[in-house]
């Protein structure tokens, strides 16, 4: 039964991720080129919903819910976050963006997935442990609760206002919005935001740890290198990763956004390099941006906002330099 629940929740996350077109590289490009913030707003609202779910659960069950431990922010952490951002820029897609595009038929992004696996495997060969097991910093929930309660109140006000708009808006009925969510290739409506946030928060409350596919890569690599036994955690993460992938693929197929494109081999090699940079860096920052957005920030891992800002800095600088070079060579 637990596997069905985990798969279903992750499936809805994957479906919503595709409908929102989540990609840090794409969202940054929107800001730099179009001066639009739709991608970042979708991500922010989804994280807010997940945060509200987790913190509300803590208030109801303080003995059973805990926040994510943070890791120390040192030189390797900073270097890892920047390396991840530069790798995502080279790849032209972050980890979630890679899944969105690969499962929409862009076969060239298979190189990124190979690269991520190779990068993580290389990290595990060189290091005895990853950042998740080195110097975790546990923050007591009670220490920050009074600061978080006003944020929780604001979050629930935002959620309730948006839900009222979802069900009672005179512009579109709920059935029309549901149809858009089910069938449109890209729709950043609140239904996708709400499902993404609620299901992400629920997965954390059930498992108590990261559940995304970069977590699966890390766990699988440890098993291959005999650094970890085959255990229930790996089976759970395998289930959620499968649900995430099938959810994204289903959204692409149902929305008629799946168009198979053959591999572009020169670009394929670039994807491998970018993916390897991202994969290697995840060991130092405790996961990829899928972990950061869907798990770490909503569950109050204090290192996560810093890693996200550093990743965005590297992506932004890379894209800006590329734009400047392109303008001068025209």
pLDDT at residue 116 in the model: 95
Can you name the residues that pair with 71 across neighbouring β-strands? 136
Nearest to 193 by CA among 205, 180, 204: 180
The pair of three-digit structure tokens given for residue 244, joined into one six-digit string? 């995430």
CA proximity to 25, closest of 12, 43, 10: 43
| Domain range for 52 | 2-328
State the Cα–Cα distance between residues 234 and 243, nearest whole angstrom: 14
What digits encode the pLDDT tens for the residues 82-93?
999 999 999 999
Q: For residue range 125-178, list pLDDT tens digits in order.
A: 988 655 544 444 444 555 666 778 888 999 999 999 999 998 888 888 889 889
44-87 pLDDT, tens digit each: 999 999 999 999 998 888 888 888 888 888 899 999 999 999 99
Task: Please count the structural domains in the chain.
Answer: 1
10-24, 100-114, 138-152: least confident range: 138-152
């Amino acid at each position: 039964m637990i596997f069905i629940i985990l798969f279903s929740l992750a499936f809805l996350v994957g479906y919503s991720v595709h409908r929102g077109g989540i990609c840090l590289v794409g969202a940054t490009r929107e800001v730099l080129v179009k001066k639009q913030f739709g991608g970042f707003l979708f991500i922010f609202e989804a994280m807010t919903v997940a945060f509200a779910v987790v913190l509300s659960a803590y208030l109801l069950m303080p003995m059973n819910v805990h926040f994510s431990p943070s890791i120390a922010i040192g030189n390797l952490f900073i270097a890892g976050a920047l390396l991840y951002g530069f790798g995502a820029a080279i790849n032209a897609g972050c980890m979630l963006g890679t899944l969105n595009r690969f499962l929409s038929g862009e076969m060239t992004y298979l190189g990124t997935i190979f690269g991520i696996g190779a990068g993580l495997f290389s990290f595990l060969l060189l290091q005895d442990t990853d950042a998740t097991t080195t110097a975790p910093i546990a923050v007591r929930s009670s220490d920050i609760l009074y600061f978080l309660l006003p944020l929780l109140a604001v979050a629930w006000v935002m959620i309730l206002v948006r839900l009222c708009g979802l069900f009672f808006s005179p512009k579109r009925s709920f059935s029309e919005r549901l149809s858009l969510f089910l069938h449109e290739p890209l729709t950043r409506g609140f239904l996708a935001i709400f499902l993404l946030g609620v299901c992400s928060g629920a997965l954390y409350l059930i498992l108590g740890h990261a559940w995304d596919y970069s977590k699966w890569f890390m766990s699988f690599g440890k098993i291959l290198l005999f650094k970890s036994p085959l255990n229930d955690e790996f089976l759970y993460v395998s289930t959620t990763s499968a649900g995430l992938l099938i959810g994204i693929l289903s959204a692409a197929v149902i929305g008629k956004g799946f168009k198979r494109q053959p591999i572009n081999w020169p670009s394929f090699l670039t994807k491998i390099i970018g993916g390897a940079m991202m994969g290697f860096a995840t060991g130092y920052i405790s996961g990829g941006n899928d972990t950061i957005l869907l798990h770490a920030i909503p569950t109050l891992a204090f290192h996560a906002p810093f890693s996200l800002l550093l990743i965005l800095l590297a992506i932004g600088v890379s894209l800006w330099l590329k734009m400047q070079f392109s303008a001068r060579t025209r």
